[in-house]
Structure 1
Amino acid sequence: MIEACLCVPGDLDTPTGGYAYARHLLARLPEAGVKVSPVALSAAFPHPGTADLVDTAAKLTSSPEGAVLLIDGLAYGALPMPVISAAGRRPIVALVHHPLGLEAGLSPDEANHLLGTERAALALAAHVVTTSRFTRDLLTAEFAVPANLITVAEPGTEPARRAKGGNGDPVHLLAVGALTPRKGFEILVAALERLTDLPWKLTIVGAQDRAPGHVAALRGRIVEAGLEARIALAGAVSAIRLDALYDGADVVVSPSLFEGYGMALAEALARGLPVVSTTGGAAADTVPDAAGLKVPPGDGLALAEALRVLITDSTRRAMTGQAAWEAGQRLPRWSDTARCVAKALRQVQP
């Protein structure tokens, strides 16, 4: 059995897809022959201060001599060369969900800085794990990472019961994702403002502590649109509550500007729910064409028209839901994800 340290910034219990990925790796890698230990890095990443970098260097230096360091990209892409070199002879595998500099809401200077640090950091990694083929191709084309040094380990999606849905009056829309600019929820509000003549309700589930100013602006936009009685911001919820929300949904909608994979979309497919999503990042590949309607990211008018189709046409909802259900049965499981990551770790083990 090989030994690895999974280095993740912040609280592992954070309710986002990236942290869920880390939790599943910690649970499943031992089954794939990897003894793995969590290493907690500063929650300040990807904008660390000097003290955060000093602490990170110390943790890399003190990790077991024979271990492979699997470092989450939320931290790794922001690490300067002196900190990375603190790993010594321990090989580093970078886990990249999506490039840091492509996060929405960054200033041009912030984006350019992060793109530069991530490009330099990736050049020092022994191997890279990405969560989608899209991100693999992006790193090869724009970050000069050789394709033979990248392993794709898509997030797992466990079997789920087929969603019952509502009675269609109103149509229950569900969106899942942390309330950050990249998720595009303000575009969704603008789209639904065009559809007040139709019977719908929307629940947005996701952490609200990542970008408080953005959340406040989103709440204000909902009130301005007069939709506070029809749009609920549920915040982060328990797994049981989220499962119940999926079960009662009729359509899952993702207005995201960019996705490294789109775990909420995969969860929708696993439950046979029709999807309206953008084509931002890997989302275009995660959702099969027959399983929903896809629109360009940032196009509120196209998003509104796609929602109108599925809100008003129950037959179309049923057809796309069936296609989603069939696609959901073919999704990888978390054990598959762990095996892919374990294979990558073995390639670089000392």
Structure 2
Amino acid sequence: MTPRPAAFAIPGDIATLTGGYIYERRLLEGLRGLGHNMQHLILPASFPDPTSDEMGQAVAALEAVDPARPLILDGLVFGAIRTEGLARVRAPIIAMIHHPLALESGLSAPRRAYLFQTEWDNLRLARHVLVPSPHTKAILTGRYDVPDDRITIATPGVDPPGPARERAAPPLILSVGILHPRKGHDILIDALAQLADLDWQAVIVGNPWDATHAAALAGQIDRSPVGARVRLAGRVPTCELERLYAQASIFALATRYEGYGIVFGEALVRGLPIVSCRVGAVPDTVPPGAGLLVPPEDAGAFADGLRKLLIDPTMREGMALAALAAGRHLPDWTGTALIASRVIDGLQG
């Protein structure tokens, strides 16, 4: 059977370096590789906070999609687009929900309530929903009353690791995540300040998604008693990131919430023990033997987790082996695309 033509609507630059954009770029490429004629719709980059004109542009672009093409709609748009506009779209809608927008960090109560209601109403219009994790599926069935059979989990794929391990000395603590409050880099920096008595170095890699927050992190490092040992690298080329993964001894992300967390898969396939937080999908993504999970918003607990791994090389190596074993069971990106392909081809209408 010839794979069904479809469309994928994504706001802004698909090459943006965040987990969600990486996932959607690889999914689009994978679906094309499987033979789907994929129309890529570029919607305004301002979602989920578009102007009125940008909202109108997005609705018009979605209305113009051929009703014979199932339409995968990115969650930044799906969760914020006006319901009355979405209701005019003739193509069958597949919502791509990484995590509900109403769960984002730092929202005011009225904004959170607005996003929840918009997502709730828009989910009534979706023919199917793609999610990256069992955690996100559980939220949609439990809080948004989406029927179980209308949700499919398409776990993000991983690529094979790059260069062979060449662990740096002193041990390198690597954190990878956009410079945004939700990623908890501020908590990590506070935790590192409590480890001044140990020998280590740290690098934080991430696209400066929130310029104000990125500047605040730089100032926090400058004021830290261990600031000379912490490098805020920002966005780096792929080859540099691969080099850092190869040199790292510990992967650390003090996240406040994750709908999945692609970087955890990247750490697992590279055999990195993980220190992170017991929030969102992290406990489902990081196997117990491969990492230490602590409460969120607790720099002291995070420092304790890092300290255990830094002072105990045997524990660190055991977790590294467990990470490698877990990484071998993660899907590749073709597997992720195959799951989405079955959803597209199985959709009626």
Cα drift, residue 233 of structure 1: 1.1
Give the alignment partner of residue 72 of structure 1, picking from 71, 74, 77: 74
43-52 or 156-165: bigger deviation: 156-165
Give 1:102's aligned residue: 103
**TM-score, reference length from structure 2:** 0.96
Kindly indicate whether the alpha-carbon contact (under 8 Å) linking 1:56 and 1:83 is maintained by their aligned counterparts in 2.
no
Give 1:287's aligned residue: 286
Kindly indicate whether the alpha-carbon contact (under 8 Å) linking 1:68 and 1:349 is maintained by their aligned counterparts in 2.
no
Give 1:58's aligned residue: 60
Alpha-carbon distance between aligned partners in 2 of 1:281 and 1:294, rounded to the nearest angstrom:
12
Kindly indicate whether the alpha-carbon contact (under 8 Å) linking 1:26 and 1:37 is maintained by their aligned counterparts in 2.
no
Alpha-carbon distance between aligned partners in 2 of 1:146 and 1:104, rounded to the nearest angstrom:
26
Give 1:248's aligned residue: 247
7-16 or 235-244: bigger deviation: 235-244
Kindly indicate whether the alpha-carbon contact (under 8 Å) linking 1:25 and 1:338 is maintained by their aligned counterparts in 2.
yes
| 2:140 paired with 1:124 | no
**TM-score, reference length from structure 1:** 0.96
Give 2:224's aligned residue: 225
| 2:16 paired with 1:18 | no
**Structure 1, unpaired ranges of 5+:** none
Aligned runs of 1:87-98 on 2, under 5 Å?
87-88=89-90, 90-98=91-99
Please provide the CA RMSD for this pair. Answer: 1.3
| 2:214 paired with 1:197 | no
What is the SS of the residue equivalent to 1:34?
A: coil
Aligned runs of 1:271-350 on 2, under 5 Å?
271-350=270-349
Cα drift, residue 163 of structure 1: 5.1
Cα drift, residue 70 of structure 1: 0.2
Give 2:261's aligned residue: 262
171-180 or 76-85: bigger deviation: 76-85
Alpha-carbon distance between aligned partners in 2 of 1:227 and 1:124, rounded to the nearest angstrom:
51
Alpha-carbon distance between aligned partners in 2 of 1:56 and 1:9, rounded to the nearest angstrom:
9
> Using a 3 Å threshold, how does the CA distance of structure 1 residues 326 and 162 change in structure 2: closer, same or farther?
farther
Residue identity matched to 1:43: A
Kindly indicate whether the alpha-carbon contact (under 8 Å) linking 2:163 and 2:242 is maintained by their aligned counterparts in 1.
no
Cα drift, residue 33 of structure 1: 4.1
Alpha-carbon distance between aligned partners in 2 of 1:217 and 1:161, rounded to the nearest angstrom:
32
Alpha-carbon distance between aligned partners in 1 of 2:232 and 2:348, rounded to the nearest angstrom:
45
Kindly indicate whether the alpha-carbon contact (under 8 Å) linking 1:276 and 1:292 is maintained by their aligned counterparts in 2.
yes
> Using a 3 Å threshold, how does the CA distance of structure 1 residues 318 and 163 change in structure 2: closer, same or farther?
farther
Q: Between the two proteins, what is the percent identity of the paired residues?
A: 41
Residue identity matched to 2:12: G
| 2:226 paired with 1:238 | no
Kindly indicate whether the alpha-carbon contact (under 8 Å) linking 1:195 and 1:304 is maintained by their aligned counterparts in 2.
yes
Alpha-carbon distance between aligned partners in 2 of 1:273 and 1:216, rounded to the nearest angstrom:
28
> Using a 3 Å threshold, how does the CA distance of structure 1 residues 165 and 251 change in structure 2: closer, same or farther?
farther
What is the SS of the residue equivalent to 1:104?
A: coil
Give 1:8's aligned residue: 10
Give 1:39's aligned residue: 41
Alpha-carbon distance between aligned partners in 1 of 2:264 and 2:246, rounded to the nearest angstrom:
14
Give 2:144's aligned residue: 143
Residue identity matched to 1:226: P
Alpha-carbon distance between aligned partners in 1 of 2:185 and 2:12, rounded to the nearest angstrom:
24
231-240 or 133-142: bigger deviation: 231-240
Cα drift, residue 274 of structure 1: 0.9
Kindly indicate whether the alpha-carbon contact (under 8 Å) linking 1:58 and 1:86 is maintained by their aligned counterparts in 2.
no
Residue identity matched to 2:38: V
Alpha-carbon distance between aligned partners in 2 of 1:330 and 1:270, rounded to the nearest angstrom:
9
What is the SS of the residue equivalent to 2:174?
A: strand
Residue identity matched to 1:203: V
Cα drift, residue 52 of structure 1: 1.1
Cα drift, residue 79 of structure 1: 1.1
Cα drift, residue 117 of structure 1: 1.0
Cα drift, residue 347 of structure 1: 2.6
Residue identity matched to 2:299: G
What is the SS of the residue equivalent to 1:229?
A: helix
Tell me how many residue pairs correspond in the alignment: 347
247-256 or 290-299: bigger deviation: 290-299
Kindly indicate whether the alpha-carbon contact (under 8 Å) linking 1:184 and 1:257 is maintained by their aligned counterparts in 2.
yes
Residue identity matched to 1:342: S
Give 1:152's aligned residue: 153
Cα drift, residue 118 of structure 1: 1.0
**Can you list the C-alpha shifts for 1:198-237, whole angstroms capped at 9, x where unaligned?**
11111111111x2111112212221222333111111112
Cα drift, residue 242 of structure 1: 1.0
Alpha-carbon distance between aligned partners in 1 of 2:75 and 2:323, rounded to the nearest angstrom:
30
What is the SS of the residue equivalent to 2:87?
A: helix
Kindly indicate whether the alpha-carbon contact (under 8 Å) linking 2:162 and 2:242 is maintained by their aligned counterparts in 1.
no
Cα drift, residue 302 of structure 1: 1.1
**Can you list the C-alpha shifts for 1:138-195, whole angstroms capped at 9, x where unaligned?**
111011111110000010012225752425x421000001011110111111111111
**Structure 2, unpaired ranges of 5+:** none
